[in-house]
Copies of this chain bind each other. A is one copy, B any other.
Amino acid sequence: MVDATSNRRIRLGMVGGGQGAFIGAVHRIAARLDNEYELCAGALSSDPERAIASAKDLGLAADRSYGSYAEMASSESAREDGIEAVAIVTPNHTHFAIAKAFLEAGIHVICDKPMTVTVEEAESLQEAARNAGRILAVTYNYTGYPMVRQARAMIERGDLGVIRVVQVQYAQDWLSEPIESDGQKQAAWRTDPARSGAGGCIGDIGTHAYHLACFVTGLEVEALCADLSAFVDGRRLDDNAHLLLRFSSGARGMLWASQVAVGNENNLQLKVYGDKGGLAWRQEQPNELTFTSLGEVPRRITRGSPAVVDAAVRATRIPAGHPEGYLEAFATIYREVAAAIRAARDGKAPAANVLYPTAEDGKAGVAFVEAAVRSSAAGCVWVEF
């Protein structure tokens, strides 16, 4: 259970997330939940009127509601009480320029995923962060779930032995019809190559699945074979992705991401099998993890189980049986970024158990999308990674 001292709250700004946006509000709740941040400034919309109205809704001071991110970066960096970190919650193609501006202004960045649209941009941002000595975090939020932390720790300490097989899926159904043609805003930019980049479903949710699999297993993908499809008439980006994965350790995997799987809301699942055990986790039922040790019966591990490790306890706020969800997991990422920012204030590296996704993870996600698109375009052939 965490309540940060409020006089140590981190001053936060936000780019994007104005009225009508989805993920911006999620970031704000996540920032607020553990009392680690104070929202002080924003460039909340590219539409000036909406930006002002949104800032008013959120109680921002009028002089800290900006018409552009560039103005915000320069003004805030000049203030004594300027923001220490910024949350970027705009469409994918804009992440790069915005993040760069804030890093160069000496402000820590918390960026929604995918971090950039190209690997080149990702590397450029990494360099900018390094040069500025600032944190660049990417909100692969699903790794904030306590049972995901538990799974990772169990694999790390050898409970599953040598990993053989990794099965990961992320299935949704909200793009089963061409709703982008009907003006649905979330669908419109996600299916537009100019705003989303070359990956559709693979970039929007496939990257989450990829990151989750790597985070939990600690393995690296060395080659993939991807079959991307756009099933809905007129759709310009993939809405279904089928991938075979080869890990450098010799493990094999499958990744399925779909936004046309009718009956699936947000069905992210991971199954990992090693020579000593297997485990399974589902995002829609995040408070439990099924683990089977070879030769024993399956066990249901929950946030409060006797079997739970420190890494999971640290990501938990309330007793088992009292379900935590998506916002709590998202808040855990924010809390860990806060810990890293505090360490940075003191010129230190964060503790080893601070596990928020970094620029390195962000770049890997972009590289994954690029490789998948390349493989599929070449006729679904194997691509080194």
Contact = CB atoms under 8 A, between A and B. Distances in A.
A375 to B, nearest CB: 11
A181 to B, nearest CB: 15
Nearest to A163: B231
B323 A286 contact: yes
A13 to B, nearest CB: 15
Given A263-B292, A319-B266, A6 B278 contact: no
Contact of A32 (B35, B295, B299): B35
A322 interface: yes
A307 B215 CA distance: 33
Interface stretch (A54-62, A335-343, A357-365): A54-62
Interface in A85-137: none
A164 B327 contact: no
A300 B302 contact: no
A26 interface: yes
B33 A292 contact: no
Contacts of A322: 266, 325-326
Given A227-B252, A254-B242, A327-B317, A261 B58 contact: no
Contact of A25 (B169, B276, B295, B317): B317
Of A254, A264, A322, most B-chain CB atoms within 10 Å? A322
Copies of this polypeptide in the complex: 4
Interface stretch (A70-78, A170-178, A188-196): A170-178
Nearest to A176: B294
B244 A380 contact: yes
Interface string A247-272: 00000111010101111111100010
Contact of A295 (B231, B293, B306): B306
B284 A287 contact: yes
A311 interface: no
Interface of A: 1, 3-9, 22, 25-26, 28-29, 32-35, 56-59, 160, 164-165, 167, 169, 172-173, 176-177, 225, 227, 229, 231, 240, 242, 244, 246, 252-254, 256, 258, 260-267, 271, 273-280, 283-287, 290-302, 304-307, 317-328, 379-382
The 3 closest A-B pairs by CB, nearest first: A266-B321, A265-B321, A6-B59
Given A9-B59, A173-B273, 10 more contacts: A6-B58, A165-B260, A167-B256, A177-B294, A242-B252, A262-B293, A262-B294, A263-B280, A263-B292, A297-B301
14 contacts: A29-B34, A173-B294, A229-B252, A242-B253, A242-B254, A254-B256, A262-B278, A263-B278, A263-B290, A266-B321, A295-B306, A298-B299, A323-B325, A324-B325
